[in-house]
Structure 1
Amino acid sequence: MPPNLLDSRPLKGQRGFRRILNATSYSLAGLKAAFVGEAAFRQLVMLNLLLIPVACLLDVSRVERALLIAVVLLAPIVELLNSAIEATVDRISLELHPLSKRAKDMGSAAQLLVLVLIAAVWATILL
């Protein structure tokens, strides 16, 4: 019986607890790469380090506090995805191409929408 070409299990490596450890290691490596190599990611980390404590000090309900923190945490998450898209596009080719530009612009647009969302949620709750 031929192997199932859609089955990626042989490519996954370890199982169980070892797989969790490996995945954690890869995730930490990704965070380090983003922090070292992406100025925008560092700026968003600094924004989180500023706004999360502020959210904890504000006189708001627990739900409002959770929302203030959650939207701020979205920004570095989207930046990680945006940076991954950019790295993948650059890995494929550094040649200027309309589809490459489109992919990178869409990643950037996602980040812009998150920043607008942060401003809107914070303004709605605080004003």
Structure 2
Amino acid sequence: MSDSLERPQLAQARVSVEDGVVVVTLTGEVDLVNAEEVRAALQARLDARPAGLVVDLAVEFLGSPGLAVLVEIDRDAARQEVPFGVVASTRAAALPLVLTGLDDALRVFGSAPEAVRSLRTG
């Protein structure tokens, strides 16, 4: 294997709370290797019943397993009556959502502050 090939950075999560809304910022890559770990981390935040849950996709790559996680969390958030939104401000995050039509199925925002405001006001 060539030394010029770097192992991709798997997703890292940073969590903050703004006006009672939990914002989980994901960086790196969300793919088959780590989608279940990402799902479990988001589910744990959702199960705490916050005023809202925002996933800020500051990722370099979002694969189909990551898209499936977003759909699952959206479904579970609706079942628990927790407002849920996704921030897709980069091409790496927005393009997969647009190509799959999930930008119409999920509440997608251009920034975390916009998402927090929207989820807090209904």
Indicate the TM-score class for this superposition, using the shorter chain for normalisation.
under 0.3
Larger radius of gyration: 1
More helix by share: 1
TM-score by length of 1: 0.23
TM-score by length of 2: 0.23
More strand by share: 2
